[in-house]
A and B are shown apart, each in its own frame.
Chain A
Amino acid sequence: MLSRVAESLFWMSRYFERAENTARFLDVNFNLLLDLNKITPIENPNYWVALILVTSDKDRFNKLYSEYSAQSVTDYLVFNKNNPNSIISSIGLARENARSIIESISSEMWEQVNNLYHYLQNITPQFVHNDPYSFYKEIKNASHLFQGITDNTFSHNEGWDFIQIAKYLERSDNIARLIDVKYHMLLSEAQSQPEIVEGSEDIIQWMAVLKSCSALEAFRKVYLSKIDPDNILQFLILDRTFPRSINFSVCAAEDALWRISGSSRHRYVNNADRLIGKIEAELSYTAMEDIYAKGLHTYLEDLEQRLVKVGEQVHLTYFAYHTPDIESSDIAEALPFTGVAGGRPNWSQAQQHQQQQ
């Protein structure tokens, strides 16, 4: 498969997953604040700043808005075209990548990404404000539909594996960020108000974290109603069967990478395989004590860094193949959520406009 095609499949998938996760974060925050509105107003900036921290571009946000409110954060994360990670930007970039390989993907996949793109063009902030639930559900469903269509209309060969790698790398990264930010937000609140650590507000917030991963029901089946931070972290980080846990996502990315290269356990053929194998092995033999010993924040940050490295190695191994000199900007593209617009550079756009007869 052409390296360029593989790369576009990768980014198409990655941006679609990113849009879904952003929708999840926002959706849950609205729900959470409805539950909490007896204790805290829906405009409480603490709850909104967290979302900006998850997507880790606080500086860019501060340049554009003066306060953290439902309206400003929603605008930034859904509509703002200057935010490369906003839902509208992500879907635009997913579509741009899909468009550049339209002959390689199934027409159903193209229709789905194109439909969502056009749907978003017609959505107003007012619409989202009036009915956030329907809007976010639409995005999540569109993403699920896209994945289902991909599974059922696109050959499960190398290209499909690149789609899987992108999806699961993005997902594991997003979950790590979500846990990190929420945990610290809750922890700092708990320290200032020690008496309500085990209070109902805390539990509601932890339930919200689970909900944003669609994990509440699955969690309950394992831990019944013991909603405490230990169990939740164990579930979201280490569970091997739940599709929105870090461990599951890393395993799935590893499987896809190994299918492409023919690597197997104990034997890797390239650095991408080696690094993902290392993460997977460590997750498999990690217990919560190990994580606490290292410090949760340090642990998650380290994990995020290592996932970024995997992305870089995928780029170098498969996409930059036989390119004599790799521009540093190409590698920067492989970094998630850093604000780099990704996709493909437009430097040749003017020349592409040559007249066709």
Chain B
Amino acid sequence: MSRFFERYEADTSHFFDEVIAQDGIPRSHYDKLLHRFGKFSIDDVKARREVVNIFFRNQGITFTVYGEEEGVERIFPFDLIPRVVPGNEWHTIEKGLVQRITALNEFLYDIYHTQKILKDKIIPPELILGSQHFRREFVGVTPPLGVYIHVTGSDIIRDREGNYLVLEDNLRTPSGVSYMLQNRQAMKRAFPVLFDKYKIRPIDNYPQELLRTLQEISPGSRREPNVVVLTPGIYNSAYFEHSFLARQMGVELTEGKDLVVNDNKVYTRTTRGLERVDVIYRRVDDAFLDPLVFRPDSKLGVAGLVNAYRKGNVTLANAIGTGVADDKVIYSFVPEIIKYYLGEDPILQNVPTWLASNPSDLKYILENLGTLVVKAANESGGYGMLIGTESTIEQQENFAELIVANPRNYIAQPTISLSRHPSFFNDTELYGCHIDLRPYVLYGKTVTIVPGGLTRVALKRGSLVVNSSQGGGSKDTWVVDE
């Protein structure tokens, strides 16, 4: 076994380790990787780190951190040790995600049409109708193919026993897929030999699949529908990704001011006049899409866009109002949603969740703030959360006030010790870092998932937060066939 791995302490009595099994023996799908790394000296690793760093820097792969001095761009931290997912495990994840996303889409269709699930009292109506992401203006509006969630990125974690659980469904504007693609490119440059040894399923076709999906949902019958990406602009943290995807798909990257609506049709402003747009892959929140309908102060949107959408002259991906289904409160009902619409048992389980809006749950939450993870229902990116075990009494008291003031807005979950994966801290030593997995699901005429996803790593020692805005990094994810 490798020198690096000889010194690696998996701590399997407290955590599920992705590489080392409970008995201290490496899992078989990591054999070739360990063998290869066994031949590396520290200098070898450093040399490969350099290859990867140059690749990322030259590609301009950075993200912007808010709240610090303006325009701080950082290279997204990348760990050299890839995560290996055996084909059979992936099969379960894939089936589970297809099931989940299909059910969530049916749920959205229902919520924006007959609201059968509310009438059948599976979900308390006030939770839906009172959600800040429920858009009552769109009740009765049917998007092409009846599909609402064209691109999703569910966060999947593993518990102590190694079960795959869904932690979050990101049904609005999930980001990170460009890192998935670029991580693979970087790894191919740094470790070509390893690619020869494993049968790694390719993911490079993601941009083509995305474009195909977006073309499938075009409202009109034009043979070459005009697809554009809509970004908030260069100061957005995920701007690199927006431009990357536009480039990879070969479509225009637009900002709100590039688009204009005339007679309920959407056009781009070009040097040669106006050009019709059929599909907008928008990475702008609902609230900013159209100043005439949503926030009137929005500088990022397009006046008249929503009417064009309602008239069926343009498709938005994802549809407006999908946030109602990825609310962390609604999340707790997803198992029921799957059962209700599909009549099946969920293949991927949820993390147990307490709702502060439920009086008995609220009591439990307030009594156990020190051990629970409390999250705001509508925040993302690791903002607005309290990790009980890492918090001070003062923080807990502050949160208690927030929760009591607005119980609908908070949920709590047990602190899950996410599975750990050996990762390089400083290229000399391996340390078990907590990881999650975000596969990307495309939904047009069919549901497509490229095999893999973004594995995010909490690179702060002991930290459980994997979000890039909170010091997280990522590693390449290999779905391998034996």
A contacts, CB < 8 Å to B:
1-6, 96, 99-104, 107, 110-111, 114, 158, 260, 318-319, 321-323, 346-349, 351-357
Contacts and interface: CB of A to CB of B under 8 A. Distances in A.
Contacts of B258: 2-4
Interface in B253-292: 253-255, 257-258, 260, 268-274, 283-285, 288
B450 to A, nearest CB: 18
Contacts of A349: 70, 233, 235
Contacts of A260: 271
Given A103-B253, A357-B170, A352 B260 contact: no
Contact of B232 (A6, A104, A110, A354): A354
A158 B271 CA distance: 9
A356 B66 contact: no
A263 to B, nearest CB: 14
B379 interface: yes
30 contacts: A3-B258, A3-B269, A4-B254, A4-B258, A5-B252, A100-B233, A102-B60, A102-B240, A102-B243, A102-B247, A103-B253, A110-B60, A114-B60, A158-B271, A260-B271, A321-B269, A321-B270, A322-B260, A346-B235, A348-B233, A349-B233, A349-B235, A352-B233, A352-B300, A353-B236, A354-B236, A355-B383, A356-B237, A357-B170, A357-B173
A128 B379 CA distance: 48
A81 B299 CA distance: 27
A100 to B, nearest CB: 5
Interface residues on B, range: 35 or more
Interface in B214-243: 232-240, 243
B270 A353 contact: no
A318 B272 CA distance: 8
Contact of A322 (B175, B247, B269): B269
A198 to B, nearest CB: 52
Interface of B: 58-60, 66, 70, 153, 170, 172-175, 232-240, 243-244, 246-247, 252-255, 257-258, 260, 268-274, 283-285, 288, 298-300, 326, 379-381, 383
B235 A2 contact: no
A94 to B, nearest CB: 14
B66 A353 contact: yes
A351 B300 contact: yes
Given A2-B252, A347-B299, A348-B299, A356 B238 contact: yes
Nearest to B252: A2
Nearest to B233: A352
Contacts of A5: 252
B236 A6 contact: no
Given A107-B59, A351-B288, A356-B283, A3 B234 contact: no
Nearest to A345: B299
Interface core residue of A2, A6, A100, A349 (most chain B CB under 10 Å): A2
Nearest to A355: B381
A351 B298 contact: yes
B232 A357 contact: no
Nearest to A3: B269
Given A2-B269, A3-B269, A356-B238, A103 B260 contact: no
Contacts of A4: 254-255, 257-258, 269
Nearest to B169: A357
Contact of A356 (B234, B236, B247): B236
B300 A323 contact: no
**What DSSP secondary structure best describes chain B's contact surface?**
loop
Contacts of A319: 271
Contact of A348 (B172, B252, B268, B300): B300
Nearest to A1: B271
Given A104-B253, A351-B288, 16 more contacts: A1-B270, A2-B252, A4-B269, A100-B233, A103-B244, A103-B246, A114-B58, A322-B269, A352-B236, A352-B300, A353-B66, A354-B288, A356-B175, A356-B283, A357-B153, A357-B380
Given A2-B252, A2-B258, A347-B299, A357 B271 contact: no
B37 to A, nearest CB: 31
Given A158-B271, A321-B271, A354 B285 contact: yes
Contacts of A158: 271
Given A103-B243, A107-B59, A355 B379 contact: yes
A3 B271 contact: yes
Contact of A357 (B58, B66, B174, B235): B174
Contact of B273 (A321, A352, A357): A321
B253 A352 contact: no
7 closest Cβ contacts across the A-B interface? A103-B247, A348-B299, A357-B170, A352-B235, A356-B175, A103-B243, A352-B232
A348 B258 CA distance: 14
B271 to A, nearest CB: 5
Contacts of B380: 355-357
Nearest to B245: A103
Contacts of B59: 107
A343 to B, nearest CB: 10
Contacts of A353: 66, 235-237
B266 to A, nearest CB: 13
Contact of B271 (A107, A318, A354, A356): A318
Given A356-B175, A357-B174, A357-B175, A3 B237 contact: no
A233 B244 CA distance: 48
A102 B234 CA distance: 10
A357 B272 CA distance: 36
A324 to B, nearest CB: 9
A67 to B, nearest CB: 32
A168 B58 CA distance: 29
A357 B269 contact: no
Contacts of A6: 271
A353 B172 CA distance: 16
Nearest to A158: B271
Contacts of A352: 232-236, 239, 300
Nearest to A317: B271
A323 B246 contact: no
Given A102-B60, A323-B269, A357 B236 contact: no
Contacts of A322: 260, 269, 273-274
A346 B232 CA distance: 12
A351 B232 CA distance: 8
A357 B270 contact: no
A321 B238 CA distance: 28
Contacts of B70: 349
A355 to B, nearest CB: 5
A35 B273 CA distance: 55
B262 to A, nearest CB: 9
A354 B232 CA distance: 8
B113 to A, nearest CB: 25
B448 to A, nearest CB: 19
Contacts of A1: 270-272
A8 B453 CA distance: 34
Contacts of B257: 4
Nearest to A99: B234
Nearest to B170: A357
B58 A111 contact: yes
